[in-house]
């Protein structure tokens, strides 16, 4: 069954921008008669169960509903390991010993896109890998051996978007699945065919769509929505004042979100759903000014 989703990472309480994105994901799904599921992306060691509980409570408080139980990424290590094993058996993975500093300082080919992995570890010999393992003293990450430099996706709000598809990491050095792999595998497992999220994640869509195609998964419909920024034009953060639901209040937060989307008279998500039209959505960031 066609499905949309919201997938918060429980590293901090949701702010008004996160809540607005969750509302938009819910509106996109419900307005197209899709199921809507909730997934907690808790693979990072900087995520916490108590924060996840508060996030889910806040989402429910503003009227976001979801179908079925909440999914937790940390419960699906075997799911990711099976995909990594399959890719490795197909000869599509290689070990990478590079740190972020190594990558930033590495020389690049003239045609290489800015921000792409320079391929330092792509063609290491067995002896090279052993030497690097001894030099670094840390286990390697696993990168996907790609055969395309760029990939194009269709986005409801941005149209055709072409972005980098380099040899991106699919498993970190600590053995945990990387974001780009976990999100693709989870979306496929949950039947998600509509991905609505902040437009800061638009550059990751080509990598994820490419991986989905490689794994034989259907490519989802993307809608990357504008972020919420502070008065200085920077990403919203705790220092910007009253930004969480506990600080703003449920009714004021809903009123602010509805107003930012162009429907200031909507008082709850059901009334917002009645007037929701993706064509009318603002295409620019919302500058948030605490009341």
Known binding residue 41? Answer is yes
DSSP for 231-269 reads: TTSSBP-GGGSS-BHHHH-HHHHHHHHHHHTT-TT--SH
Q: Is the pLDDT of residue 37 over 90?
A: yes
Q: Give the predicted TM-score (pTM) of the model.
A: 0.94
Query: Binning pLDDT at 50, 70 and 90, where does residue 33 land?
Result: very high
What H or E segment, with its residue span, contains residue 131?
Answer: helix 126-136
Residue with tokens 């995909």: 83
| Residue ranges of domains in the chain, CATH in brackets | 3-73+226-287 (3.40.50.620), 79-171 (3.90.800.10)
Answer yes or no: is 98 a known binding residue: yes
197 marked ligand binding residue = yes
96 annotated to a ligand binding site: yes
**Is 217 marked within a binding site?**
no
Is 117 annotated in a binding site? The answer is yes
Chain segment 217-275, per-residue pLDDT in tens: 999 999 999 999 999 899 888 788 879 999 999 999 999 999 999 999 999 999 999 99
Residue 122 in marked binding region? no
Residue 46 known to bind ligand: no
158-182, pLDDT tens digit by residue? 999 999 999 999 999 999 999 999 9
Return the sign of the alpha-carbon dihedral for residues 84, 85, 86, 91. positive
Tell whether residue 57 is among the known ligand binding residues: no
Question: Is 31 annotated among the ligand-binding residues?
Answer: no
Estimate the crossing angle of helix 16-31 against helix 49-61, to 10 degrees.
60
């Amino acid at each position: 069954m066609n499905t949309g989703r919201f997938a918060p990472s429980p590293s901090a309480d949701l702010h008004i921008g996160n809540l607005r994105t969750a509302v938009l994901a819910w509106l996109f799904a419900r307005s197209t008669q899709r199921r809507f599921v909730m997934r907690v992306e808790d693979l990072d060691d900087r995520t916490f169960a108590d924060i996840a509980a508060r996030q889910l409570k806040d989402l429910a408080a503003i009227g976001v509903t979801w179908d079925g139980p909440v999914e937790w990424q940390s419960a699906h290590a075997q799911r990711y390991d099976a995909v990594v094993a399959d890719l490795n058996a197909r000869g599509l993975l290689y070990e990478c010993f590079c740190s972020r500093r190594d990558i930033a300082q590495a020389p690049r080919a003239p045609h290489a896109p800015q921000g792409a992995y320079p391929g330092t570890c792509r063609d290491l010999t067995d002896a090279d890998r052993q030497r690097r393992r001894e030099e670094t003293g840390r286990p390697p990450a696993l990168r996907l051996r790609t055969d395309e430099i760029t990939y194009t996706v269709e986005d409801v709000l941005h149209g055709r978007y072409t972005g980098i598809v380099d040899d991106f990491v699919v498993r970190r050095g600590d053995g945990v699945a990387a974001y780009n792999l976990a999100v693709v595998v989870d979306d496929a497992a949950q039947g998600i065919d509509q991905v609505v999220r902040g437009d800061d994640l638009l550059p990751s869509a080509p990598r994820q769509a490419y991986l989905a195609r490689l794994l034989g998964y259907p490519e989802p419909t993307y809608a990357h929505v504008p972020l919420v920024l502070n008065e200085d034009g920077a990403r919203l953060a705790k220092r910007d004042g009253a930004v969480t639901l506990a600080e703003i209040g449920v009714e004021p937060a809903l009123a602010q979100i509805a107003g930012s989307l162009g429907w200031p008279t909507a008082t709850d998500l059901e009334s917002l759903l009645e007037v929701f039209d993706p064509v009318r959505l603002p295409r620019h960031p919302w500058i948030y000014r605490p009341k």
